[in-house]
Amino acid sequence: MTHKKQTLGEFIIEHQASFKYSSGELSSLINSIRLAAKVVNHEVNKAGLVDIIGQFGETNIQGEDQQKLDVYANNKFIQTMTNRNIVCGIASEEEDDFISINSQDEKHQNKYVVLIDPLDGSTNIDVNVSVGTIFSIYRRITPIGTPVTIDDFLQKGSQQVAAGYIVYGTSTMLVYTTGDGVNGFTLNPAIGSFYLSHPDMEFPEDGNIYSVNEGNYLDFPLGIKKYIKYCQMEEDERPYTSRYIGSLVSDFHRNMIKGGIYLYPKSTKNPNGKLRLLYECNPMAFLAEQAKGKASDGFTRILDIQPTELHQRVPFICGSKNMVEKAEEFMREFQ
C-alpha cells in the first residue's frame, strides 16, 4: 500500500505550530519562495531554447559578470516577495544595497527580512550543470513601523529563523529548515507541486568525499594543503574521493546525502575567502548544523561571526562533523 506524499504546503501548515513565531507570516514567506522557485525552474529548464543563457553585459557588486538568468532570477524572487506583502526588506547578492519595502496597508509592519543568492553557480548554466538558489530569513531587530536599516541584515547567522536552498538539477528540490531539522521536497513538474521526498535529512558523521577546487591548491593556507594531502593518502583505509561541481548548492546537497566535506578556504587571490557570509555561508551553516553537520571558517563557527558589511566574504568549511573537525585540526596545527 502506498501512502500519499505530503505536499510542501501541507507540511508548512502542519508544522506551523512548532515554529516559535507562529503567526502565519513565515509560512506565507516560504510559500512565496516556493512560487518564485517554480517560475525560475521553468526558465532554467528551457535555458537552451530561449535567449536567456550567456552574459547580461553587466557586472554585479562583486565585480562578477552577471548572467542573464542571474538577473531574471533576482528580479523574480524580489518581485514575488514584494507582491506578497510579507517582508520589510530584501538583500540580494546581485544588488549593491538592501531594498526597504513598505507594506501596502500599514507602513513597515512586516517582521521579516530575506537575504538571497538568486542563482548560485550561474556560470554553470551555459554548460547544463546544476545551479541553485539560497535563501536566509531573519526577524527584523529595528522597531516595527520604521523602515529597515542595515542592522536588520547584519545579524549573526545564529539569529536566522529559517534558511534553505533550491537545487535545479536532474529533479528540482527545495530543502529548508526553520530550526527544527532539515526536510527536502521534490517538484513534480506535471502537477507543479513540491512533495516531501527527503524527510529529516542528516549528514553522516563521517564521509569519504572532499569537495574543493584543487586548481587553487598553491594559493591555499598550509593547513588546507596538509588536509588535502591527508584526504589523498591511502594508509589507514582512508580512500577519500574528490568531487567538485562548482555549484555550492549541488556540492552541499550531495555531501549531505552521501557524507563529505566542502572547502572554500581563503587564498592568496582571495585573502578573506570567496563565498559571501550573508548569502551563502550563513544559510548553509544553519542547514548543516540542523542536519547534524558542522560549518566553520577553519577556526570559528560560521554562525558566531558578526557580519560588518552586506557583501562580506569568509573562508568556508562545511559538511560531515568529523571531517570538518579534522580539517580544523590541520588549520590549528599549521597556522
Cβ-contact 53, 44 below 8 angstroms: no
| φ, ψ of residue 255 in degrees (nearest 5) | -65, -35
Nearest-angstrom CA–CA distance, 325 and 294 = 8
Q: Which residues contact 127 (CB under 8 A, 6 or more apart)?
A: none
Q: State yes or no: 333 annotated in a binding site.
A: no
Q: State yes or no: 93 annotated in a binding site.
A: yes
How buried is residue 232: exposed, middle or buried, by Cβ count under 10 Å (0-12/13-18/19+)? Answer: middle
Q: State yes or no: 21 annotated in a binding site.
A: no
DSSP calls for 162-195: EEEEEEESSSEEEEEESSS--EEEEEETTTTEEE
Distance of CA 20 to the CA centre of its chain: 22
Nearest-angstrom CA–CA distance, 225 and 227 = 5
Q: State yes or no: 274 annotated in a binding site.
A: yes
Q: State yes or no: 280 annotated in a binding site.
A: yes
Q: State yes or no: 120 annotated in a binding site.
A: yes
Nearest-angstrom CA–CA distance, 215 and 192 = 40
Q: State yes or no: 102 annotated in a binding site.
A: no
Edge-to-edge strand order for the sheet containing 131-139? 99-100, 87-92, 112-120, 131-139, 162-168, 172-177, 183-188, 193-198
Annotated binding site: 93, 117, 119-120, 213, 244, 262-264, 274, 280
Annotated binding site for Mg(2+): 93, 117, 119-120, 280
Annotated binding site for substrate: 213, 244, 262-264, 274
